[in-house]
Amino acid sequence: MDSDSAEESSRIFLYDTTLRDGSQMEDISFTLEDKLRIVALLDSLGIATIEGGWPGANPKDREFFSRVRELDLVSSRIAAFGSTRKAGNSVSQDPVVADLLEAKTPVVTIFGKSWRLHVREILGLSREQNLAMIGETVDFLKQNGREVVYDAEHFFDGFAEDPDFALETVRAARTAGADWIVLCDTNGGSLPGQVAEATRRVAEVVGGAIGIHAHNDSELAVANSLAAVSAGARQVHGTINGIGERCGNANLVSVAPNLVLKMGLPVMDPAAMARLRDAAAFVSELSNRALPKNMPFVGESAFAHKAGVHVHAVRKVARAYEHIRPEIVGNRQRILLSEQSGRSNLVEKARQYGLSLEDGDGHLAGLLARLKEMEFAGYQFEGADASFELLMREAIEKTSPYFVIDFFRIAMGRGGGEGYSEATVQVRVGAQFEHTAALGNGPVNALDNALRKALATFYPEVRHIALLDYKVRVLSGIAGTASRVRVLVESSDGRSKWGTVGVSENVIEASLDALRDSVEHYLLTTGARRLDG
């Protein structure tokens, strides 16, 4: 075998099923345009194969396979997904097989049964009938010029119960010409050792190109995928962010960096790896789901440090508490502030803000005491970096606020069957005052509108601020409706995002504090000129 052939035989291929298996997750529904945008994203990451859906399942998927042919893909090939022919149908007349060919994709993925339980007790078929369905469908698709990926459904459950039966099914697919035999942990209940053992057995007995399709019902989909690769699998199925049926699929956002950085297998080039966080956020946004903060590699908390001893260490040597450099996957190191913080946290945070603060600085003790006092009162700065930056700048630089809120008032009522809220605000900038009112969809929205309306007289740029997220947490239920609440606000100007916090027994006051910090931070970071009146 020449060097090129040897390299090709050892290459690992990523196969994405976000648009099919991923879209089967509860509460996820991609539009046609969403699917096309995701295809373009996956192609830019160098994903080898993109499974577009089941062409006969619905009109949207049928239209997708027509529209996706218009895209000029560089790295990826599209696969249509379906099943083997139905029992009793001839393969040439089977409607599912016909839809697969009609999709005109270069790759076709079909699934068949590997578990005796399903063949005999669910489908009520004989061993010979099942093998014929697999072999005839693969052979027919190959005769029609398709690359065939055969998904051996429930393979690991079937192998555990009756290895000979399971192996016979994948041998039938291979004999008929299947390009890939993909072993599926459909129920997601297998352990890495079991997956590795079964994968090695298939490699020995059946040979050829083997893949792994793991579900995450036991929180082991990524581990099982890596175990299969170690045992000889060369194609890894998964989804962006691990979305999928029930508990999801193997998360390719974790699989890829593990293969590249931990196993030395170049499945993704460095430029694509550096866009992983952005890719995860993009699919999360189209899924209408928040990207989990604790998601490995790309989550906001993946490289966040809270304990003082950790921060002290990473300031000296980052890898003391970070298994990779965050920038490799497009992430960043974050230093969190809390009652567990030490001096190292504050010094590192000041550095990130561009402030001069050293270990022996006289401001440190006061800042640390202030932080712990405020957190005891209910403040939380982990999601409110902007509020803490204002606090630090006030202490170190003795900055004065851009504006002062003299008073506010909220009126709520109902007219014409609909509720309304009106907020009145007076702000002071230097010696000048602005008094105005605004309506809103609820009291906080009205307050936000009124505050920015009043400030626009002095700082027109505040019109660019938009409130993205608003969260309220009751800190203690002991006092009932008089309990203190913490409000976290996330804002954006379309280019960057920042978080602020407010705490009070009055939810409107807490909201106003968070909104005030949001505007202050925006004016500060955009370099707005302070008006002295």
Are residue 370 and residue 418 in the same domain, yes or no? no
Give the least confident one: 100-104, 193-197, 341-345. Answer: 341-345
Are residue 82 and residue 137 in the same domain, yes or no? yes
Are residue 387 and residue 412 in the same domain, yes or no? no
Beta strands in 128-227 (DSSP E): 147-153, 180-185, 210-214
> Do 465 and 493 touch, CB atoms closer than 8 A?
yes
Cross-strand bridge partners of residue 237: 15, 213
pTM of the predicted protein model: 0.72
Q: For residue range 267-288, what is the model confidence (pLDDT) as tens digits?
A: 999 999 999 998 998 898 788 7
> Do 333 and 303 touch, CB atoms closer than 8 A?
yes
Are residue 346 and residue 419 in the same domain, yes or no? no
Range of the domain at 470: 404-525
Average of per-residue pLDDT across 285-297: 88
Amino acid sitting at position 375:
E
> Do 219 and 250 touch, CB atoms closer than 8 A?
no
Of the residues 334, 362, 391, the one at which a domain ends: 391
pLDDT surpassing 90 at residue 342? no
Q: 384 by DSSP, 3-state: which?
A: coil
Are residue 411 and residue 387 in the same domain, yes or no? no
Q: Does a structural domain hold residue 254?
A: no
Tell me, what CATH number does 190's domain have?
3.20.20.70
Per-residue confidence (pLDDT) for residue 477, from 0 to 100: 55
Q: Minimal CA–CA distance to 248: which of 7, 488, 25?
A: 25
d(CA 219, CA 429): 55
> Do 510 and 487 touch, CB atoms closer than 8 A?
yes
Q: What mean pLDDT, rounded, does the chain reach? A: 90
Q: Give, in order, the Cα–Cα distances in Å from 192 to each of 18, 198, 212, 232, 468.
A: 23, 10, 12, 13, 41
Are residue 202 and residue 64 in the same domain, yes or no? yes
Per-residue confidence (pLDDT) for residue 480, from 0 to 100: 55
pLDDT surpassing 90 at residue 350? no
Indicate the DSSP class of residue 87.
Answer: T
Task: Mention every residue, 6+ apart, whose C-beta is less than 8 A from residue 209.
Answer: 179, 180, 181, 234, 235
> Do 100 and 80 touch, CB atoms closer than 8 A?
yes
Tell me, what CATH number does 429's domain have?
3.30.160.270
What's the gap between Cα 3 and its chain centre? 38
Confidence label for 58 from pLDDT (cuts 50, 70 and 90)? confident
Q: Does a structural domain hold residue 466?
A: yes
Average of per-residue pLDDT across 75-82: 98
Q: Does a structural domain hold residue 469?
A: yes
d(CA 438, CA 78): 51
Q: For residue range 362-420, what is the model confidence (pLDDT) as tens digits?
A: 677 777 788 778 878 888 776 788 998 898 888 888 878 999 999 999 999 887 767 78
Q: Length of the chain in residues, anyone?
A: 533
Q: Does a structural domain hold residue 475?
A: yes
Q: Does a structural domain hold residue 270?
A: no
Per-residue confidence (pLDDT) for residue 6, from 0 to 100: 45
Are residue 64 and residue 109 in the same domain, yes or no? yes
Confidence label for 478 from pLDDT (cuts 50, 70 and 90)? low
Q: Does a structural domain hold residue 276?
A: no
Are residue 467 and residue 323 in the same domain, yes or no? no
Share of the chain above pLDDT 70, in %: 93
Are residue 363 and residue 439 in the same domain, yes or no? no
Of the residues 368, 391, 414, the one at which a domain ends: 391
Q: Does a structural domain hold residue 363?
A: yes
Q: Does a structural domain hold residue 334?
A: yes
- Residue whose tokens read 């505050």: 451
Are residue 353 and residue 500 in the same domain, yes or no? no
Give the least confident one: 29-43, 86-100, 113-127, 297-311. Answer: 297-311
Q: For residue range 213-257, what is the model confidence (pLDDT) as tens digits?
A: 999 999 999 999 999 999 999 999 999 999 999 999 999 999 999
Left, alpha or beta for 145 (phi > 0: left; psi -120 to 50: alpha)? left
Of the residues 218, 234, 250, the one at which a domain ends: 234
* Encoded tokens for 363: 């401001």
Give the least confident one: 70-79, 478-487, 519-528. Answer: 478-487
Are residue 121 and residue 186 in the same domain, yes or no? yes
Cβ atoms within 10 Å of 93's Cβ, excluding its own: 9
Are residue 81 and residue 125 in the same domain, yes or no? yes
Structurally, the chain folds into a number of domains equal to 3
